[in-house]
């Protein structure tokens, strides 16, 4: 782990490092000073006794207070151990105090036995209990037996050696029968026996100590070991008879007490926080020698016991029965201990074999391939699953370089990831995941996902084949970015490529262009030969578009019959050259898409309107695509089947129309529209035959705008959604029809039975949002007879389904609603409408009427149309009759009615009623019978109810 990581994962120390080092120096100086003073005899015998007795008592008392206070500050299972250590130190302090009382205060020899001996005997048992508490408790019954056997192996061997060296003499003294020999012998035996037991526990605890606060426990063990060593020297025959207080031996007891007092405080170290990661990373590396000492302990104990027996044999003395008995029990304990270890080893071996078989079955039965790679990259193990995944046997892969199996394009990325992973701390990143391509036995490359772990400097790879998943992801990605019908890029992918072209390395190339393409006449294909044929046409158009664009360019389908192309320009060209190049590409695309299509065995023709926008400096992808869309709509409005380059005024015009559309919508909702009526006059009698309803917009300044001035905006937004700033003719048409019917009904109730003519588009009549029977319901609600309503429809509109329109008009015609064909003479021919629709009135377009006097050609066309109307029994109305000459010419050609400034302009309701009361208008040239009079020549627009397919005989 890196130093910053170690600092983050470590608790701050309780005391600074400087304070701990200072405490250790003070401890060393005090102990060393005591040892020097004891070695020099303290300068006098009296001071030596004081320091040897009360000095040791003070050190013991200090150790007792320190351990007791530490036990109160911890809340662990070790608290009883430190209380026992405190009691043991207190007994040692008490024994030294009693010894000093006799020697220093009373000035006499310490009696044997005395209270001091009792206190010293009470030193070892509490320390032994404390060590047992600190020892790691066995979890099995065999563990407890082994603990007891280990203790006896150590204690018995030490007893054998001690008995051979010194204790046998004490036992023989007790058997001599001298006065006071038995108590002295008992004390001589009690001290070493308790020390042997204490040493045994110290050694056992060294190999079985708990991991909690290990530093403090180790220091306490060292303190007790130093004390036991001093006791052993004191009980030896060499020092026992010549010992006096204040000698160098007291320095060992003094240092042991101070070290025990220092153990719980100065020796404490910060404990690391728990970390997550591999156990191997958290476990410190143990030293081989220290790790083998617990296993060698029984043999070392037997060796010590053998040395005790050999001492007696070599010395020529008879082997003591105590030595023989103790040695036999030690050997027996060793045999039992070894038997238990043998049984444990057999059980562990069986368990290990079972686990090894279990994990081997898991590895060999896994569908994933498990491989172990050496630090050099050579595969040392490969599981049998490799045959099913890679198509190669595991034995064949063992010994192969791992790099030889990875695709060359992925090798650099894999090596970089492995090096980064091996350099990372194991606790922070125990595993990593790598996805690359592996070479299979058949030679193809498989997509493989591997989980990588560390293993003895090498790697363990758990790999699985994810080729199908990668293919599925690629298919889903392709489906999400491509049109399902034509397989061209969709709008999302096209937008992303436009963004890449504007922000990538070509961001400074302003010759890049976007083309928006719309197929003119595609809706008619769907309506006439079906949607299946329309789909086939779109597929063929997409193929042509894809083949026509250059390599590196992008062709896409945006939806419906709208396509787009991204043309990557040449940065070295000037503006004129790049416009010429892109214009040439656009013309080629238009010509290609406009060629005939062979669909369902028949030839189908559509045209292409193309808008072009260039990537000017600072433009965004959305603005660039919007500009191309505006140019495309300008191409459609300019006559279709053409190419239009974007110009800034197009956006300004769109903004202006949007603002005007918003104003018109607000005006409609706030009642700023007014309804005017223009009389339709009989050209023969001047009588008012009908009134034509017209809408006017009254501005805030009181100016009335004519339909020609505001309906262009409405027609431009026809079919668009009615947003907050939108304006549709549907709303205006609904208002116009409702107002016209309501006012006509009021006039009807006032006695003015004059029909009202309302202009209505075919799309509006067939609008799905308009409920069926809405016209009939409107007439019934206002009480207007159906014969008093005339609906004026455009002469021809290729976007309208003719069959549905015919059914709708036939239903209205049966109820008495009269149908007028408006705009005859402009746009496409109205032959189909005249042949199939129930038309009652033919209304000539204003363009014909304006040139009927000056143009002989228009005169003949108008005369022909009027002749057809008369032959079919229809009445005719000329729109825009403004001059007397036009009235005379039209009447001479057989036109029955006229509407225009020659008679009256649009009138408000008050002036209209005054005109209806008068009933007639002056007709230029007086009343005269036309040459061909179709229907009645009277003032009202009466319709002959004969068949439209029959030619009525004109009256004489």
Does position 806 have pLDDT exceeding 90, yes or no? Answer: no
- pLDDT tens, position by position, 689-714: 999 999 888 766 666 676 666 655 55
Interhelix angle for 491-503 vs 621-637, to 10°? 120
Higher pLDDT, 494 or 48: 494
Q: Is residue 847 very low, low, confident or very high in pLDDT (cuts 50, 70, 90)? A: confident
- pLDDT tens, position by position, 571-622: 656 777 878 888 889 999 999 999 999 887 888 889 999 999 988 888 888 9
- What is the arithmetic mean of pLDDT over 341-351? 81
Instruction: Provide Rg for the chain, Cα atoms.
Output: 58
Higher pLDDT, 236 or 16: 236
Interhelix angle for 56-73 vs 79-100, to 10°? 160
Q: How big is the CA angle at 509 (ends 505 and 514), to the nearest 5 degrees?
A: 105
Given a contact cutoff of 8 angstroms between Cβ atoms, the answer to whether 616 and 490 are in contact is no
- Phi, psi torsion values for 592, nearest 5 degrees: -65, -45
3-state SS, 827-878, equals CCCCHHHHHHCCCCEEEECHHHHHCCCCCHHHHHHHHHHHHHHHHCCCEEEE
Does position 294 have pLDDT exceeding 60, yes or no? Answer: no
Residue 399: CB atoms within 10 Å: 10
Given a contact cutoff of 8 angstroms between Cβ atoms, the answer to whether 372 and 380 are in contact is yes
- pLDDT tens, position by position, 720-766: 434 434 445 677 788 889 999 999 999 999 999 899 999 888 877 87
Strands (E), 852-954: 875-879, 897-899
Task: Output the CA–CA distances (angstroms, integers) from residue 712 to 627, 664, 697, 811, 844, in the order listed.
Answer: 22, 12, 13, 31, 21
Task: Output the CA–CA distances (angstroms, integers) from residue 785 to 750, 764, 773, 820, in the order listed.
Answer: 14, 22, 15, 17
b (16+ CB within 10 A) / e for 739-758: bbbebbbebbeeebebbbbb
Task: Output the CA–CA distances (angstroms, integers) from residue 547 to 551, 565, 584, 588, 589, in the order listed.
Answer: 9, 12, 16, 11, 10
Residue 406: CB atoms within 10 Å: 21
Helix (H), strand (E) at residue 690: strand 688-698
Q: Is residue 516 very low, low, confident or very high in pLDDT (cuts 50, 70, 90)? A: very high
What lies within 8 Å, CB to CB, of 670 at 6+ separation is: none
pLDDT of residue 948: 35
**CA terminus-to-terminus distance, the chain:** 119
Nearest to 690 by CA among 903, 850, 869, 833: 903
- What is the arithmetic mean of pLDDT over 913-921? 91
d(CA 691, CA 782): 18
What lies within 8 Å, CB to CB, of 268 at 6+ separation is: 14, 213, 215, 216
pLDDT of residue 214: 67
What lies within 8 Å, CB to CB, of 143 at 6+ separation is: none
Residue 50: CB atoms within 10 Å: 17
Does position 7 have pLDDT exceeding 50, yes or no? Answer: no
- pLDDT tens, position by position, 83-104: 888 888 898 888 888 888 888 8
Higher pLDDT, 842 or 352: 842
- What is the arithmetic mean of pLDDT over 477-500? 91
**For the ranges 254-268, 673-687, 803-817, the one whose mean pLDDT is highest:** 673-687
d(CA 344, CA 235): 40
Q: What is the pTM of this model?
A: 0.50
DSSP letters of 795-838?
S--TTS-HHHHHHHHHHHHHTT-EEEEEEETSSS--HHHHHHS-
Q: How big is the CA angle at 661 (ends 656 and 667), to the nearest 5 degrees?
A: 130
Does position 4 have pLDDT exceeding 90, yes or no? Answer: no
d(CA 148, CA 142): 10
- pLDDT tens, position by position, 204-234: 555 455 555 667 777 877 777 777 777 766 7
**For the ranges 474-488, 820-834, 920-934, the one whose mean pLDDT is highest:** 474-488
pLDDT of residue 212: 57
- pLDDT tens, position by position, 526-569: 877 888 989 999 999 999 999 999 888 999 999 989 999 999 87
Phi-psi region of 686 (alpha: psi -120 to 50; beta: other; left: phi over 0): left
Q: Order the strands of the 554-559 sheet from edge to edge.
A: 554-559, 562-567, 513-520, 607-614, 643-645
- What is the arithmetic mean of pLDDT over 484-495? 92
Least confident of 486-490, 766-770, 777-781, 875-879: 766-770
d(CA 452, CA 431): 6
């Amino acid at each position: 782990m890196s130093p910053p990581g170690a600092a983050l994962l470590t608790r701050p120390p309780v005391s600074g490092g400087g304070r701990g080092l200072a405490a250790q120096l003070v401890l060393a100086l005090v102990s060393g000073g005591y040892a020097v003073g004891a070695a020099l005899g303290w300068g006098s015998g009296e001071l030596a006794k004081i320091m040897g007795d009360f000095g040791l008592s003070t050190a013991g008392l200090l150790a007792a207070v320190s351990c007791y206070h530490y036990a109160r500050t911890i809340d662990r299972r070790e608290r009883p151990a430190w209380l026992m250590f405190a009691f043991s130190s207190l007994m040692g302090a008490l024994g030294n105090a009693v010894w000093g009382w006799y020697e220093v205060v009373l000035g006499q020899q310490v009696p044997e036995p005395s209270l001091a001996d009792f206190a010293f005997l009470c030193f070892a048992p509490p320390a032994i209990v404390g060590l047992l508490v600190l020892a790691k408790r066995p979890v099995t019954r065999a563990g407890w037996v082994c603990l007891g056997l280990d203790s006896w192996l150590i204690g018995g061997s030490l007893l054998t050696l001690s008995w051979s060296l010194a204790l046998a003499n004490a036992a023989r003294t007790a058997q001599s029968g001298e006065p006071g020999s038995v108590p002295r012998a008992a004390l001589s035996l009690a001290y070493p026996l308790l020390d042997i037991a204490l040493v045994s526990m110290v050694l056992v605890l060294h190999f079985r100590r708990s991991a909690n606060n290990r530093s403090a426990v180790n220091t306490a063990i060292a303190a007790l070991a130093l004390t036991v060593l001093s006791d052993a020297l004191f009980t030896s025959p060499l020092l026992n008879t010549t010992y006096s207080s204040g000698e160098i031996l007291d320095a060992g007891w003094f240092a042991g007490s101070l070290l025990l007092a220092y153990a719980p405080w100065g020796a404490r170290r910060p404990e690391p926080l728990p970390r997550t990661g591999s156990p191997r990373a958290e476990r410190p590396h143990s030293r081989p020698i220290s790790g083998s000492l617990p296993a060698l302990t029984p043999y070392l104990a037997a060796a010590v016991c053998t040395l005790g027996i050999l001492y007696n044999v070599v010395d020529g003395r008879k082997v003591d029965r105590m030595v023989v008995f103790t040695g036999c029990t030690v050997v027996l304990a060793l045999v039992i201990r070894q038997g238990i270890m043998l049984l444990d080893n057999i059980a562990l071996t069986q368990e290990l074999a079972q686990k090894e078989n279990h994990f081997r079955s898991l590895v060999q039965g896994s569908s994933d391939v498990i491989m172990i790679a050496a630090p050099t990259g050579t595969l040392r193990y490969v599981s049998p699953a490799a045959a099913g995944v890679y198509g190669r046997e595991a034995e064949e892969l063992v010994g192969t370089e791992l790099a030889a199996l990875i695709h060359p394009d992925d090798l650099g990325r894999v090596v970089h990831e492995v090096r980064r992973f091996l350099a990372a701390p194991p606790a922070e990143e125990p595993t990593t995941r790598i996805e690359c391509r592996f070479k299979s036995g058949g030679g193809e490359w498989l997509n493989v996902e591997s989980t990588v772990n560390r293993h003895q400097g090498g790697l363990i790879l758990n790999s699985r084949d994810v080729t199908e998943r990668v293919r599925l992801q690629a298919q889903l990605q392709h489906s999400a970015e491509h049109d399902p019908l034509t397989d061209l890029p969709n709008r999302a992918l096209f937008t992303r490529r436009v963004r890449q072209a504007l922000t990538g390395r070509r961001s400074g190339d302003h010759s890049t262009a976007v083309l928006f393409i719309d197929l003119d006449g595609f809706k008619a294909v769907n309506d006439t030969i079906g949607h299946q044929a329309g789909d086939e046409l779109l597929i063929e158009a997409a193929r042509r578009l894809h083949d026509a664009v250059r390599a590196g360019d992008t062709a896409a389908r945006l939806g419906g019959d709208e396509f787009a192309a991204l043309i990557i320009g040449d940065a070295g060209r000037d503006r004129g050259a790049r416009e010429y190049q892109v214009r040439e590409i656009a013309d080629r695309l238009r010509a290609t898409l406009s060629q005939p299509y062979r669909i369902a065995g028949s030839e189908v023709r559509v045209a292409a309107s193309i808008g072009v926008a260039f990537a000017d400096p600072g433009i965004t992808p959305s603005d660039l695509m919007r500009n191309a869309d505006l140019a495309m709509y300008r191409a459609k409005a300019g006559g279709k089947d053409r190419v239009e380059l974007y110009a800034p005024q197009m956006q300004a015009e769109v903004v202006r129309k949007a603002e005007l559309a918003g104003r018109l919508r607000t005006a409609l909702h706030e009642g700023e529209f007014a309804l005017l009526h223009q009389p339709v006059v009989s050209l023969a009698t001047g009588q008012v035959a009908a009134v034509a309803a017209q809408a006017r917009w009254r501005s805030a300044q009181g100016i009335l705008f004519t339909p020609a001035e505001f309906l262009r905006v409405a027609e431009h937004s026809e079919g668009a959604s009615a947003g907050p700033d939108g304006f549709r003719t549907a709303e205006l048409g609904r208002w116009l029809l409702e107002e016209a019917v309501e006012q006509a009904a009021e006039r009807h109730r006032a006695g003015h039975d004059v029909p009202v003519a309302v202009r209505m588009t075919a799309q509006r009549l067939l609008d799905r949002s308009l409920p069926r029977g809405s016209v009939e319901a409107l007439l019934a609600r206002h009480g207007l007879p159906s014969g008093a309503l005339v609906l004026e429809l455009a002469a021809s509109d290729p976007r309208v389904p003719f069959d549905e329109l015919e059914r709708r008009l036939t239903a209205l015609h049966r109820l008495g609603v009269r149908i007028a064909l408006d705009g005859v003479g402009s746009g496409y021919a109205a032959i189909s409408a005249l042949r199939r629709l129930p038309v009652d009135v033919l209304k000539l377009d204003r363009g014909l009427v304006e040139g009927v006097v000056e143009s002989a050609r228009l005169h003949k066309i108008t005369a022909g149309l009027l002749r057809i109307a008369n032959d079919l029994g229809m009445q005719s109305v000329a729109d825009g009759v403004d001059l007397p000459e036009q009235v005379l010419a039209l009447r001479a050609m057989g036109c029955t009615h006229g509407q225009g400034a020659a008679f009256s302009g649009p009138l408000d309701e008050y002036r209209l009623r005054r005109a209806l009361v008068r009933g007639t208008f002056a007709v230029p040239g007086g009343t005269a019978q036309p040459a061909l009079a179709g229907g009645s020549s009277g003032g009202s627009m009466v319709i002959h109810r004969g068949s439209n397919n029959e030619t009525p005989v004109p009256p004489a």
